[in-house]
Amino acid sequence: MSISLLLVDDHKIVRQGLRFFFQSVEGISVLGEAETENEAVSQFITLQPDVVLMDLQLKSGDGIQATKRILTESPNAIIIVVTSFSDQDYVIPALQAGAKGYQLKDVDPEELAQTIFAAVQGGNAIHPSVMNHVLSHMTSEKDQRLATLTERELGVLIEISTGRSNKEIALELQISELTVKTHVSRLLSKLGVQDRTQAALFAIQVGVAKPPSFDV
């Protein structure tokens, strides 16, 4: 079964080059092209391609807005940004808009094809040089969430990361079990995590707790 593509780029020569290349790639076919934001959305609705290759700078409108509009129409759409921009001012907004992948135009065509196959299978479709921006953003975002905790909530978080129960934390911090329960509820909300396990992982990731060690 062939993966169908919609090519969205403001340069005709780029679209033609991609179309020509994909003619030689088994398992991928080009359904259509677009050069503006509105064209991208209308072509997607009409053609229903499996994957959209989206440039960020278009002849009219922009790729990030086009991505948002397409995902509003079809939340499961697979959109891969293919652009010249590798700085985080473009990378982060594109991924936040819902793009499943981010590749640079200087990538080898064969690697772009592999990116498409990976995205369809739910794998990593982000260019290595771009991944640093993603990881940096994730780290800074977590640091910001950590900074919202009070000193007591931070102490409770550290105790959670050791695997202690509310009763054990209450004894350790010399506060009531009900107070611990309140702190746990608040810190889960502030950190944007669902349970104690996620909170413990968060604490380890930001460096306020150490991973558990196991005696062999």
Identify the CATH class of 3-138: alpha beta
| Burial zone of 213 (CB within 10 Å; 0-12 exposed, 13-18 middle, 19+ buried) | exposed
Return d(Cα 131, Cα 135) in angstroms, integer.
6
Tens-digit pLDDT profile for the chain (216 aa)? 799 999 999 999 999 999 999 999 999 999 999 999 999 999 999 999 999 999 999 999 999 999 999 999 999 999 999 998 887 778 888 888 888 889 999 889 999 999 999 889 877 677 777 766 665 665 677 778 888 899 899 999 989 888 888 999 999 899 999 999 999 999 999 998 888 888 888 887 777 776 654 444
**CATH 1.10.10.10 domain position(s) in the chain:** 148-205
Identify the CATH class of 148-205: mainly alpha
C-alpha Rg value of the chain to the nearest Å: 23
pTM: 0.64
For residue 203, CA distances in Å to 48, 166, 167, 200 come to 42, 17, 20, 5
What is the maximum alpha-carbon separation in the chain?
71
**CATH 3.40.50.2300 domain position(s) in the chain:** 3-138
